[in-house]
């Protein structure tokens, strides 16, 4: 007997050929499309749940349909990305208005769209990075997960690469400090011209400039800091000694060397009295940004600088420092020792220095790389003054006393000779800059007549020289090789420079 009071499955009403076997349901007839719809929704929901599980913060941001994004035709940046060695993925950034809740907002947004083989992978990487911003520096608003996925940011953002050619030396120095403050790369820095500030964002077009992480520092993100006066004024109120000196060094007057010289060390001369007042007895070296196979900072040893080979990349590159910041840190004490007043025209004192750039590459062979890894730590040593072929050497010895032979370098895939380019430069600073430096030291409790400030900065000490050029050259020529003294060594070092200066002034008496 049938119990008509029990509810029936109305899905079977009017259906024909229905079969039930081990929970298998096949509905044939006019309701066949019901199964298809249910199956599609289940698969779609599973895909969304999987994506939401992989990206837990996705629900914290607004999902926007592609049809609700209205692009501004006037602004668009596009570039090629690189994923796992493949460059088949592209990205584009443009300004747009967004339809939210059926109404087009007046606010403007920045949209980064991805296309290509690894589009979703790049989208996911940028989203995870931007969504985990702790300090609110990344203005992420929403996203789109279509075949052309997008990330949407508040405001009208301009990538750093777009304004980079107009930064200048001080602007580039400010960017160094800012990326250190925000903890990002230069390619991840964006400018909001409406709000007048910089912010961190997704990876943008590749910047061509060279930027360094300057360490822990706090500096505002206002675009006003692209101006020289603003940066110097801010740093002058802080205890960031090194960054203040760097900022002053960038306010130099760059001049074509008007004195032929071939010295290996930075030196300071007076163009008025033709005298050398100080010289640096050593040269500092830095790793070039593209040289990923060397550690970032060298170890300074007696008469040499030592880099450790990390072997993470192929290219090898180092360059010598100008010594400008080191000179500025102790210039006032040297002026004082020479009875040079701050009321003089101090721009007549010139810092002359050579710039050495060395480059090469490790062998790409997998076998040679394994050999380098098995033989233990490998060091690159740099020494001055020396002949170009003796300027650098590789060694397994931490002291560098035993250099690797050409055959051993070939066996390990090391470049025995690095390419060398040398250029000479001449800089000067105004009296106003030196006075600002004087006030800064006094405000920080330093005595400008001493080298205490330079030592606090960790700079190498300049050595003073009080002879004029004529007497200095005579001394260098009359000293015998059997009794080398400090003066004779300096004479040999600066004699070519002195002869060049004399040659110039003889041809142009007004230059003296």
Q: pLDDT band for position 501 (50/70/90)?
A: very low
Residue spans of alpha helices (H) in 274-318: none
Highest mean pLDDT out of 32-46, 403-417, 463-477, 479-493: 403-417
Q: pLDDT band for position 299 (50/70/90)?
A: confident
Residue 372 has pLDDT above 70, yes or no: yes
Mean pLDDT of the chain, nearest integer? 77
The answer to whether the CB of 15 falls within 8 A of the CB of 8 is no
pLDDT at position 484 is: 44
- 3-state helix, strand and coil shares in percent for the chain, rounded to the nearest 5: 35, 25, 40
- Identify the sign of the CA torsion 189, 193, 194, 195: positive
pLDDT at position 388 is: 59
DSSP code per residue over 86-127: EEEEEEEEEEEEEEETTEE-SS-EEEEEEEETTHHHHHHHHH
pLDDT tens for residues 329-360? 999 999 999 999 999 999 999 998 888 898 89
Biggest CA–CA distance in the chain, Å, is: 133
pLDDT tens for residues 40-81? 343 444 444 445 556 767 888 989 998 888 887 666 778 777
Integer Cα distance of 417 and 410 in angstroms = 11
Q: pLDDT band for position 260 (50/70/90)?
A: low
Q: What are phi and psi of 190, to 5 degrees?
A: -130, 150
Q: pLDDT band for position 113 (50/70/90)?
A: very high
**Domains along the chain with CATH numbers:** 64-154 (3.30.200), 160-235 (no CATH)
pLDDT at position 36 is: 35
pLDDT tens for residues 138-169? 788 999 999 899 999 988 889 998 888 888 88
Range name among 273-282, 329-338, 371-380 with the lowest pLDDT average: 273-282
Q: pLDDT band for position 448 (50/70/90)?
A: very high
pLDDT at position 473 is: 44
Integer Cα distance of 436 and 328 in angstroms = 11
321 compared with 48, residue with greater pLDDT = 321
DSSP code per residue over 185-208: -GGGEEEETTTTEEEE-S--SPP-
Q: pLDDT band for position 408 (50/70/90)?
A: very high
Q: pLDDT band for position 387 (50/70/90)?
A: low
Whose tokens are 């007895």? That residue is 281
Integer Cα distance of 217 and 185 in angstroms = 15
127: left (phi over 0), alpha (psi -120 to 50) or beta: alpha
Q: pLDDT band for position 21 (50/70/90)?
A: very low
pLDDT at position 138 is: 78
> pLDDT exceeding 90 applies to what percent of the chain?
25
pLDDT at position 258 is: 66
Contacts of 161 (CB under 8 A, 6+ apart): 77, 187, 204, 205, 206, 207, 208
Kindly list the distances between the CA atom of residue 256 and the CA atoms of 259, 279, 331, 399, 496, in Å, as whole numbers in the listed order: 9, 20, 22, 38, 18
């Amino acid at each position: 007997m049938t119990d008509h009071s029990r509810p029936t499955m109305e899905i079977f009403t009017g259906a024909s050929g229905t079969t039930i076997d081990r929970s298998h349901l096949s509905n044939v007839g006019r309701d066949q499309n019901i199964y298809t719809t249910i199956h599609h929704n289940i698969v779609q929901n599973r895909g969304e749940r999987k994506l939401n599980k992989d990206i837990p913060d996705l629900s914290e941001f607004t999902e926007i349909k592609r049809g609700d994004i209205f692009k501004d035709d006037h602004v668009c940046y596009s570039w090629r990305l690189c994923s796992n060695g493949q460059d088949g993925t592209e990205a584009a950034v443009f300004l747009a208005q967004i339809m939210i809740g059926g109404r087009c907002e007046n606010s403007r947004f920045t949209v980064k769209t991805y296309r290509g083989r690894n589009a979703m992978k790049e989208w996911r990487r940028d989203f995870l990075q931007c969504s985990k911003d702790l300090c609110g520096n990344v203005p992420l608003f929403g996203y789109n997960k279509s075949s052309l996925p997008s990330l949407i940011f508040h405001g009208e953002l301009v990538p750093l690469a777009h304004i980079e050619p107009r930064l200048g030396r001080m602007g580039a120095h400010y960017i160094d400090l800012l990326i250190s403050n925000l903890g990002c790369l230069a390619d991840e820095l964006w400018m909001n011209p409406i709000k007048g500030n910089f912010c961190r964002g997704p990876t943008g077009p590749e910047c061509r400039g060279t930027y360094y992480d300057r360490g822990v520092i706090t500096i505002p993100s206002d675009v006003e800091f692209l101006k020289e006066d603003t940066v110097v004024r801010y740093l002058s109120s802080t205890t960031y000694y090194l960054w203040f000196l760097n900022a002053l060094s960038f306010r130099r007057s760059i001049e074509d060397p008007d004195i032929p010289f071939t010295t290996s060390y930075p030196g300071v001369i007076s163009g008025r009295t033709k005298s050398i007042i100080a010289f640096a007895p050593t040269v500092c070296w830095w790793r070039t940004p593209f040289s990923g196979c060397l550690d970032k900072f060298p170890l300074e040893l007696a008469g040499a600088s030592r880099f450790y080979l990390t072997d993470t990349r192929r290219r090898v590159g180092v360059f010598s420092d100008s010594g400008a910041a080191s000179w500025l840190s102790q210039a006032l004490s040297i002026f004082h020792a020479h009875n040079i007043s701050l009321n003089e025209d101090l721009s007549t004192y010139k810092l002359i220095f050579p710039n050495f750039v060395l480059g090469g590459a490790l062998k790409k062979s997998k076998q040679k790389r394994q050999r380098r890894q098995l033989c233990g730590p490998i060091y690159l040593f740099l020494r001055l003054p020396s002949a170009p072929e003796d300027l650098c050497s590789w060694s397994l010895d931490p002291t560098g006393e035993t250099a690797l032979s050409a055959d051993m370098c070939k066996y390990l895939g090391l470049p025995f000779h690095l390419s060398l380019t040398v250029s000479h430069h001449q800089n000067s600073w105004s009296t106003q800059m030196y006075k600002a430096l004087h006030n800064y030291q006094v405000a920080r409790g330093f005595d400008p007549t001493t080298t205490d400030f330079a030592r606090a900065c960790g700079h190498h000490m300049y050595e003073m020289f009080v002879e004029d050029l004529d007497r200095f050259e005579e001394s260098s020529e009359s000293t015998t090789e059997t009794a080398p003294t400090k003066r004779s060594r300096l004479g040999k070092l600066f004699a070519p420079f002195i002869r060049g200066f004399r040659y110039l002034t003889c041809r142009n008496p007004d230059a003296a």
